[in-house]
Structure 1
Amino acid sequence: MIKLAVLAALGVVVAVMGYIRLAPHDPARWHEDPTLVARPGTPNYHLIRLVGGDAIAPVYDTTPEALAQTLDGIARADGAELLAGSVESGHMTYVTRTPIMGYPDYTSVKVGPVGEGASFSAFARARFGRSDLGVNRARLERWRAALDAIF
């Protein structure tokens, strides 16, 4: 009886882990404009924008096209996969996964002109759970530091 209960519990764990890793992504749900998005009621996100974010978006001395291209390269080098949007449009949404459990996180980025330069807004959030243990903030800080080193 105990063996059966343990096997059933393991089966549930495997099923949940499989769902987390294999659940389909809905681009219509996750491809959001970070300049317009409302702050979620949960702490599992990080928001960078010129006004009203967790961090203020920097302005770089470059074109929006060059910033979008560079940011895309940084995101992909960090393990992100493009889910929706395009570099050409300057509005991209990426999927990243946590190392051990493979929880999906979504990061929407929008690049645009600011004065003579360019800036980006970004909204990184977890799909599952209430806490992300700071991984979304850490990811955006890595991406921003990489941009700061280039521009």
Structure 2
Amino acid sequence: MKKMVLWAVFALVIGLGAYIRLAPSDPAQWNVAPVAPVDQDLPGGVVRVVETGPDGLHRLDQIIRATPRTSILAGSVDAGMITYITRTKWIGFPDYTTVQQDGNTLRINSRLRFGRKDFGVNKARVDGWLEQM
């Protein structure tokens, strides 16, 4: 009986891990323009509004693309908005970061997909990118 329960738990963990890594990401749901007028630290993410000049998205895009385990979900520099997916190293939890150029202002919204709290991971990542600019 114990062996059967252990196998069931093992199968559940493997199934959950597979779902986290393989669940599709719908661009229509995640590639949405950030609308916050000011910086916000949220339980599941962060919003930043930064004056960068008209080339801010281009510069930040180069920094973000160099981030390990990060890919583009939708958008482009030419479109003026990009949504990136950055995954954790071990389990592959996805975080979504949308960056929009609005004149001389960059609006950034980075948020988790699974769970309620990201323990400051998105804030540290976004603030680190902005420091590199």
Q: TM-score, normalised by structure 1?
A: 0.79
Q: Out of 82, 86, 102, which is 1:96 matched to?
A: 86
Q: Within the alignment, does 1:71 sit opposite 2:60 as a pair?
A: yes
Letter in structure 2 aligned against 1:140:
V
Q: Deviation of residue 32 (structure 1)?
A: 1.1
Give the match's secondary structure for 2:24: coil
Q: Deviation of residue 133 (structure 1)?
A: 1.1
Give the match's secondary structure for 1:100: coil
Unaligned runs of 5+ in 2: none
Q: Deviation of residue 112 (structure 1)?
A: 2.5
Q: Within the alignment, does 1:33 sit opposite 2:33 as a pair?
A: yes
Distance 1:13 1:7 in 2: 10
Q: Deviation of residue 111 (structure 1)?
A: 1.0
- Name the counterpart of 2:115: 129
Distance change (3 Å), C-alpha of 1:28 and 1:18: same
Give the match's secondary structure for 2:78: coil
Give the length in aligned residue pairs: 128
- Structure 1 runs, 4 residues or longer, greater than 6 Å off: none
Letter in structure 1 aligned against 2:83:
T
Q: Within the alignment, does 1:119 sit opposite 2:108 as a pair?
A: no
Cα contact 2:43–2:119 (8 A) shared by 1? no
Letter in structure 1 aligned against 2:105:
S
- Name the counterpart of 1:52: none
Distance 2:111 2:71 in 1: 15
Q: Deviation of residue 70 (structure 1)?
A: 1.4
Identity %: 40
RMSD, aligned α-carbons? 1.5
Distance 2:36 2:75 in 1: 16
Q: Within the alignment, does 1:23 sit opposite 2:23 as a pair?
A: yes
Unaligned runs of 5+ in 1: 50-56
Q: TM-score, normalised by structure 2?
A: 0.90
